[in-house]
Structure 1
Amino acid sequence: MVDEEGFREFVRARLPRLSRAAYLLAGGHAQAEDLLQSALIKAAVQWSRISATGDPETYIRKILYHEHVRSWRRRRYLEQTTAAVPDRASAGDETDRAVLRLVLEQALAKLTRRQRAVVVLRYFEDLSEADTAQVMGTSVGTVKSQTSHALSRLRTLAPELAGLMHDSMEVQS
């Protein structure tokens, strides 16, 4: 028997975090909604088994990551990003944060799917290297090398993010 109410309660409690992870993986709102919907459908079908693990969020993150990679393999299309960041207005900190967010989104979109997943899981979801490796179904060494390659590529693609990456790395240490 499926515990529909338990699943609904879980989704209500975790939807903001799962939505954010899906958005960062997919690179757009519509794609993130599709990705999250696919992952939650798969999770709903197996909810009794997933909830019995004691850590359903980790399991659903793994489904989310695998759906992300699977969709890329099916379509193999490239996202079209704009070449320029919008002009800065004089609205102060809020504008600077918005521009930084746009630059970050564009830089993440230029990473490989695996590199993007590592960055999202490690720095936005705050998972350890071991937890990231478990979610991705790979070794800790692969997570370390993919993280190194991704951060190096981000430094090249968007040097203005260097301060943000430095601050994030200090928090992780």
Structure 2
Amino acid sequence: MPPATNGAQDVGDRGLPHSPDLPERRLALTFDAFDARHHTLWLRYAHTQVGGRAAAETVVDTTCARLLEHWPHVLAQESVARYAWAILKEEVARWLYEHDLQPVLVDTAAFHAAIRKLLLYETRDQFAVLQGEIGLYAAIDRLPERQYDVIVLRYVLHVPDEDVAAYMGIEVATVRSHVRHARRRLAKDLDVRGTETGE
């Protein structure tokens, strides 16, 4: 069963009103427009979790099928983007469970660059030591779910704070708070001394 939502409506989705007599073709057009706006990011996020393009496409196709099947119900939610994000995450979790896998961040270069920026390392030597001796993936994986999503969306996929907030159904200030807490937690987990934790 799709999760209930109760957050603020995403500005980009306000043009999607629902009424009982909305013709089927118009419903399909609103879905196509919504999908066109979000599909690429969904694919990129799924790819970071399931480890391959084909698997990511399967996850997103299943997500889209679920959304389209219940599209009038989806349109009735306070935030269509947040509701769709929850469905995407359910499908990612289902795919990983069915394949007995854990989430992976497959674009290693992008991930390491994101972590470097995230923790604001002072020297390359320090980062090289961390790369060689500490499981960065494991450190990220140990973050609470919301901090994990914020870090992946903001630093790996380069999604603006406002869009991260819309996807997750939280305020922009909360996105930034999650970043600060994630920085502190990662710095402690990786034993990084002198790491700056400001924005």
Quickly name the TM-score band, shorter chain normalised: 0.5 to 0.7
- SS of residue in 1 equivalent to 2:97: helix
Cα 1:112–1:25 change in 2 (3 A) is farther
Counterpart for residue 52 of structure 1? 76
Identify which of 95, 110, 121 aligns with 1:101: 110
What percentage of aligned pairs have identical amino acids?
A: 19
Aligned to 1:75: 99
| Equivalent residues, number | 139
Report the counterpart of residue 152 of structure 2 in structure 1: 120
Return the alpha-carbon distance in structure 1 between the equivalents of residues 112 and 68 of structure 2. 35
Change beyond 3 A, Cα 1:99–1:24: closer
Q: Structure 1 length normalisation: TM-score?
A: 0.55
Deviation per CA, 1:62-98: give whole Å up to 9, x if none: 001111112222221358999xxxxxxxxxxxxxxx9
Q: Which has the higher contact order (CA 8 A, sep 6+)?
A: 2
Q: Tell me the distance in 2 between the aligned counterparts of 1:133 and 1:55.
A: 7
RMSD: 4.4
Which sits farther off after the overlay, 62-71 or 116-125?
116-125
**CA distance 1:36–1:80, shift in 2 (3 Å):** closer
| Aligned pair partner of 2:90 in 61, 66, 84 | 66
In structure 2, do the counterparts of structure 1 residues 78 and 24 end up closer, same or farther at CA, with 3 Å as the change threshold?
A: closer
Is the 2:48–2:104 contact (alpha carbons within 8 Å) kept by the matching residues of 1? Answer: no
Larger Rg: 2
Which is helix-richer, 1 or 2?
1
